[in-house]
Amino acid sequence: MRSTELNALFRGIDNAFQVYANHVTDKLGSKEDLVPPEPVLTRYRKEAGIKAFVKKEILDPRISEERRSSEINILTTAALCVQLNTLHYAISQLNKLEDSILERWTRKKPHENFLKKLVEEKSKSFTKNDTFDGSRKDINAAIDRICEFTGTKIIFWDLREPFIDNLYKPSVSKSRLESLIEPLDVELSKLCDVIVEPLRDRVVTGLLQASLDGLLRVLLNGGPFRVFFPSDAKQLEEDLEILKEFFISGGDGLPRGVVENQVARARHVVKLHGYETRELIDDLRSGSSQDMLGTRGKLGADSETLLRILCHRSDSEASHFLKKQYKIPKSSS
């Protein structure tokens, strides 16, 4: 086999792995299929909270489409973990495959000195060029994509009703995050029972990120039937600590530093919920003119975040401000 043929063989194998990695991710579909659309921003209406459990949610046509739903349901946690394990095995064997091909190619060559030297130079050149670099890149990207998809599916699809739809309804005190720990633990066990050890932290981090995305969705885009008071901030902070410690798991889970970094944004939003309405309004007024410059107000939040917190604030001062300054309608009755 000439060196040009060997090079063609490497390219063919590299391309085959890339095609496989892309095929696996293409079957996942879009992340948007899992996440319901954000509710329209409305301001507080006293009567709205009373009907939190009797008013039907508007169904997203993407989600209600029966065929797509069945396709998503087929992608169970176990099935997704098997895909991850397969990709991990493939990428872990690439070095062995490369070495094996080069070794066999070398043995087929004559052993005259000048030819042997040529073979060694060729072998080194293939190694230096990272023969399967394209495969490694695409497989790692596929692993990241499946980890993200798996976490999002668990939170926004499998646990949508208790988490996205009903957490903190009708109030924080009556629907705490602690009630989600058991179903979260069940889902985490499904992951850890199947996933190979080298990928455990990557896929669990995907679940952590999705959990925080879900929590932020509830706190900032929770719809007209979620209202918060400044006094709720203490319980929200306690809930965030419960979620954080769940993923740290007494040192058996994710590294504490990793979890703390992921939790930081949610912690800031929880802190903002603790400010009085007047403080939020003043900061929003002062910050709106600065947003064009990429700066933030004294509370360290952008205008959109402050606006969303005020939309969920259960008082007439916030409602009046939103009506006057932003023409935001009241929650429908």
Structure-token pair, residue 119: 């073979």
Which has the minimum average pLDDT: 39-48, 55-64, 133-142, 196-205?
Answer: 55-64
The pLDDT, as a whole number, for residue 113 is: 47
pLDDT at 224: 86
Mean per-residue pLDDT of the chain: 86
- DSSP annotation of 96: H
Instruction: State which of 115-119, 233-237, 315-319 shows the largest mean pLDDT.
Output: 233-237
Judged against a pLDDT cut of 70, whether residue 268 lies above it is answered with yes
Asked if pLDDT for residue 45 goes beyond 80, the answer is: no
pLDDT at res. 195: 98
Residue 179 neighbours by CB distance under 10 Å: 12
Q: Please tell me what DSSP assigns to residue 332.
A: P
What integer is the mean pLDDT of 191-197?
Answer: 97
Tokens representing 308 are: 């969303």
- Structure confidence at residue 94 (pLDDT): 92
Indicate if the pLDDT at residue 267 is higher than 80: yes
Q: Compute the distance between CA of residue 73 and CA of residue 160 in angstroms, rounded to an integer.
A: 13
| pLDDT at res. 128 | 43
pLDDT > 70 in the chain, percent: 83
Return the pLDDT at 142.
97
- What whole-number distance in Å separates Cα of residue 307 and Cα of residue 296? 13
Q: Which among 45-54, 106-115, 119-128 has the top mean pLDDT?
A: 106-115
Q: What integer pLDDT is reported at residue 288 of this predicted model?
A: 63
The confidence score (pLDDT) of residue 118 equals 47
Each residue's pLDDT tens digit, 235-257: 999 999 999 999 999 999 999 99
**Distance separating alpha carbons of residues 15 and 311, to the nearest angstrom:** 51
Phi and psi based region of residue 294 (left: phi greater than 0; alpha: psi -120 to 50; beta: remaining): left
DSSP string, 99-160: HHHHHHHHHHS---HHHHHHHHHHHHHHHHTTTTHHHHHHHHHHHHHHHHHHHHHIIIIITI
> pLDDT of 271-314, one tens digit each?
999 999 999 999 998 876 555 545 678 899 999 999 999 999 98
Q: Do 150 and 191 contact (CB within 8 A), yes or no? A: yes
User: How far is it, in rounded angstroms, from Cα 322 to Cα 320?
Assistant: 6
User: What are the sequence ranges of the domains in the chain?
Assistant: 3-326
The sign of the CA dihedral 143, 195, 266, 149 is positive
Q: 305 CB contacts (<8 Å, ≥6 apart)?
A: 220, 269, 272
pLDDT at 190 over 90: yes
Per the structure block, which two tokens stand in for 51? 């009907």
In 3D space, the residue among 175, 232, 158 whose CA is nearest the CA of residue 52 turns out to be 175
| Nearest Cα residue to 164 out of 233, 204, 215, 206 | 215
**By percentage, how much of the chain surpasses pLDDT 90?**
65
The answer, yes or no, to whether residue 29 has pLDDT greater than 70, is yes
